[in-house]
């Protein structure tokens, strides 16, 4: 590289784009988080850590953070279990299994806005397909205002998130299952191992790297479910589905508190960075043990 300085020109376009689209907004956000800028006025003043102190003490922020954690736990648990179950059922490369994999993967290629609009109609308490189907089945007592009830709205959206991305994580598990040597299963059967024993002693330990990827990706994905929640409930009712990304949006574009929104964004970035570091450490540990 020292003798061929022209090679640096090849990385220059990417470096400029990265700096303009990522580094500059990040540094600007950090700078504005210490100001009272409203996003419109040409003037602002420095207020130190006031934005951060107000954010941490804000009840809506606390509720958004709690909602984000609950949303993450529900999505990670059920999406991992469902995608793993589908992968175990469809691991063989038969025609019907390949077709079903493609069918379950299909919701992933839809935009989250489209998914949100579709499921908002399905959840509609008056003409929605879900309540209508329950009524036709004689289960009127089960009908709900699925995204209008503060007790279940967040979990209703979590179910949509799982539906939309379980097929995507299924593909990761299928790839992991195909990487396990067949000889290990044959040896386990010769030793008299049952299905559960083979899964617990052979499949799951060797599937741990794939499981780590699924959990890591699903965790970050659940923290950034802005478009789905914004389309379906916009954080309501009564902040029951408000998460950090929708809270940032409402601060910046509804309240014009760009300084405070920048402070929340910085805290959000730190939180995701910590999660990412922990997940990569776990991933490397699994790879070494593997």
Amino acid 1: pLDDT: 58
- Rounded to two decimals, what is the model's pTM? 0.87
Amino acid 107: pLDDT: 93
Amino acid 285: pLDDT: 47
Mean pLDDT of the chain: 90
Residues 6+ apart with CB under 8 A from 234: 246
- pLDDT band of residue 286 (cuts 50, 70, 90) is very low
Amino acid 144: pLDDT: 92
Phi, psi (degrees; rounded to nearest 5) at 35: -125, 175
Contact yes or no for 215/78 (Cβ under 8 A)? no
- Decide if pLDDT at 290 tops 60: no
* Residue 145: HSE in the Cβ half-sphere, 13 Å Cα cutoff: 7
pLDDT tens for 189-216 read 888 878 888 888 888 889 988 988 898 8
pLDDT tens for 233-279 read 999 999 999 999 999 999 999 999 999 999 999 999 898 888 878 87
pLDDT tens for 34-45 read 999 998 888 999
Contact yes or no for 228/112 (Cβ under 8 A)? yes
User: Which domains are assigned to the chain?
Assistant: 58-112+163-289 (1.10.3720.10)
Amino acid 160: pLDDT: 97
Q: Of 215, 123, 137, 235, nearest to 169 (Cα)?
A: 215
- Decide if pLDDT at 177 tops 80: yes
């Amino acid at each position: 590289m020292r003798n061929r300085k022209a090679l640096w020109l090849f990385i220059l376009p990417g470096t400029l784009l990265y700096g303009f689209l990522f580094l500059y907004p990040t540094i600007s956000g950090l700078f504005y988080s210490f100001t009272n800028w409203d996003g419109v006025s040409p003037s602002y003043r420095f207020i130190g850590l006031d934005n951060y102190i107000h954010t941490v003490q804000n009840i809506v922020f606390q509720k958004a953070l709690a909602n984000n954690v609950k949303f993450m736990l529900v999505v990670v648990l059920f999406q991992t279990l469902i995608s793993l179950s589908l992968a175990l059922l469809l691991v063989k490369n038969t025609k019907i299994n390949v077709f079903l994999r493609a069918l379950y993967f299909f919701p992933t290629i839809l935009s989250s806005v489209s998914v949100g609009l579709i499921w908002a109609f399905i959840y509609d308490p008056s003409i929605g397909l879900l309540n209508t189907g329950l009524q036709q089945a004689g289960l009127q007592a089960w009908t709900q205002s699925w995204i209008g009830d503060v007790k279940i709205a967040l979990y209703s959206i979590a179910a949509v998130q799982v539906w939309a991305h379980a097929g995507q994580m299924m593909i990761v598990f299928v790839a992991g299952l195909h990487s396990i040597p067949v000889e290990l299963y044959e040896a386990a059967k010769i030793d008299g191992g049952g299905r559960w024993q083979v899964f617990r002693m052979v499949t799951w330990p060797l599937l741990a790297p794939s499981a780590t990827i699924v959990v890591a990706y699903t965790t970050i994905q659940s923290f950034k479910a802005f478009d789905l929640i914004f389309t379906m409930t916009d954080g309501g009712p009564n902040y029951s589905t408000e998460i950090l990304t929708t809270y940032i949006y409402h601060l910046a574009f509804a309240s014009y508190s760009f300084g405070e929104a920048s402070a929340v964004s910085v805290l959000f970035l730190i939180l995701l960075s910590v999660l990412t570091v922990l997940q990569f450490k776990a991933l490397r540990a699994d790879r070494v043990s593997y």
